[in-house]
């Protein structure tokens, strides 16, 4: 891109970036630095003095079976949420992208749930599956004999937070897949149809590869969502339980830092999370640079 015209002024630009830079410094760099620094210390029993312990907080963290199992659980959970939400959205976007009547109505109906807060998604599913008042829980019990109680059953709890999180993410993915599908040149697809490729061949052979930048971008965004932004769902529905079954990393940071006030461990966990996000971001840039278009 060409360089923009530049006003000859020395002082003004500093004044203009000042508010943004102040906010970034106070609410981004300072806390990030504090997390790094704090992760190297432990507090004594009375919370008065800090003792430098180097990497000990980290070593303890990875030796703690609660933490490593939470780490694995988080990856499984994120993978499941990303896959479910993306597969359903792509399927729906393909349907809505056809030249059919009411397609505008369908699109609007599938897009607006984006505005529903993650917490509210949790409340909705909680209300449906509540063991005493939930309509779905009642239905499961009386039609299938399934005794639904996610407060005690770990597998059910895990399934419930996975479903609620995927539900929440469908609209977001739908918007992007739809935009991606609209950019697929119709001539290519028509040419393939004329050559005798059936609908599924056209989809997997032409449309899906052309969508790969969108798919890849969404994969990263969905992983980030499942990793970090599902906190309201977990906090609302299961509080990490039963038996840590739904305690993902972000929830643990909150629990250890805010509830149990174990600041050193919590700071070390924050740093691990930062490394995971930075890893994902770098991965994304690397991949995008290679431009996965055909």
Interface of this chain with other proteins, residues 226 to 245, rule: CB under 8 A: 228-229, 231-232, 235-236
Our finding on whether 167 is near other proteins (CB under 8 A) is yes
Nearest to 276 by CA among 41, 78, 24, 8: 78
Q: Residue 95, Cβ neighbours under 10 Å: how many?
A: 12
Measured CA to CA, the distance from residue 119 to residue 168 in angstroms comes to 10
CA-based max dimension of the chain: 77
In the complex, least distance from residue 133 CB atom to other proteins, rounded to whole angstroms = 6
Q: Which lies closer to other proteins via its Cβ, residue 25 or residue 76?
A: 25
Site for other proteins in 26-55 (CB under 8 A): 26-32, 34-35, 38
From candidates 50, 53, 80, 88, binder to other proteins by CB under 8 A: 88
Length of the chain: 294
The stretch among 16-24, 47-55, 60-68, 150-158 that binds other proteins (CB under 8 A) is: 16-24
Residue 287 φ/ψ, nearest 5 degrees: -70, -40
Measured CA to CA, the distance from residue 119 to residue 233 in angstroms comes to 6
Measured CA to CA, the distance from residue 130 to residue 280 in angstroms comes to 35
In the complex, least distance from residue 53 CB atom to other proteins, rounded to whole angstroms = 18
From candidates 61, 189, 207, 211, binder to other proteins by CB under 8 A: 189
Site for other proteins in 191-220 (CB under 8 A): 193, 199, 217
In the complex, least distance from residue 117 CB atom to other proteins, rounded to whole angstroms = 4
Q: Which lies closer to other proteins via its Cβ, residue 26 or residue 146?
A: 26
Helix (H) or strand (E) holding 210: helix 208-210
In the complex, least distance from residue 152 CB atom to other proteins, rounded to whole angstroms = 17
In the complex, least distance from residue 120 CB atom to other proteins, rounded to whole angstroms = 6
Q: What angle do CA 241, 242, 244 make, to 5 degrees?
A: 55
From candidates 90, 148, 176, 215, binder to other proteins by CB under 8 A: 176
Q: Are 130 and 148 in contact (CB under 8 A)?
A: no
Measured CA to CA, the distance from residue 235 to residue 254 in angstroms comes to 10
Return the exposure string of 261-277: e unless at least 16 CB atoms fall within 10 Å of the residue's CB, then b.
ebbbbbbbbbbbbeebe
Q: What angle do CA 64, 65, 68 make, to 5 degrees?
A: 90
Question: In 3-state terms, what secondary structure has residue 43?
Answer: strand
From candidates 190, 204, 205, 243, binder to other proteins by CB under 8 A: 190
Please count the residues of this chain forming the interface with other proteins, following the rule CB under 8 A: 97
Site for other proteins in 101-140 (CB under 8 A): 102, 106, 108-120, 123-128, 132-135, 138-139
Site for other proteins in 254-293 (CB under 8 A): 254, 257-258, 263, 266-267, 270, 273-274, 277-278, 281
From candidates 221, 223, 226, 245, binder to other proteins by CB under 8 A: 221
């Amino acid at each position: 891109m060409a360089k923009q015209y530049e006003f000859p002024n020395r002082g003004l630009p500093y004044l203009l970036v000042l508010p943004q830079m102040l906010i970034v410094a106070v609410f981004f760099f300072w806390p990030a630095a504090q997390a790094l620094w704090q992760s190297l210390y432990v507090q004594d029993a009375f919370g008065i003095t800090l003792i430098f312990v180097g990497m000990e907080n980290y070593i303890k963290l990875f030796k703690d079976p609660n933490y490593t199992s939470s780490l694995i659980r988080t990856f499984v959970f994120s993978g499941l949420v990303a896959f479910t939400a993306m597969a359903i959205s792509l399927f729906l976007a393909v349907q809505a992208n056809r030249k059919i009547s009411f397609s505008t109505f369908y699109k609007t109906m599938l897009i607006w749930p984006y505005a529903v807060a993650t917490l509210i998604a949790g409340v909705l599913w909680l209300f449906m599956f509540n063991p005493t008042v939930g309509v779905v829980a009642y239905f499961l019990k009386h039609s299938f004999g399934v005794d639904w109680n996610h407060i005690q059953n770990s597998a059910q709890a895990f399934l419930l937070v996975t479903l609620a999180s995927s539900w929440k993410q469908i609209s977001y993915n739908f918007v992007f897949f739809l935009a991606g599908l609209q950019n697929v040149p119709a001539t290519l697809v028509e040419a393939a149809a004329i050559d005798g490729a059936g609908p599924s061949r056209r989809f997997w052979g032409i449309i899906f590869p052309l969508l790969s930048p969108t798919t890849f971008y969404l994969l990263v965004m969905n992983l980030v969502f499942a990793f970090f932004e599902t906190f309201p769902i977990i906090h609302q529905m299961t509080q990490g339980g039963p038996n840590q079954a739904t305690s993902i990393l972000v929830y643990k940071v909150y629990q250890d830092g805010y509830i149990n006030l174990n600041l050193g461990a919590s700071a070390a966990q924050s740093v691990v999370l930062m490394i995971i996000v930075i890893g994902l971001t770098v991965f994304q840039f690397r991949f995008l640079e290679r431009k996965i278009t055909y």
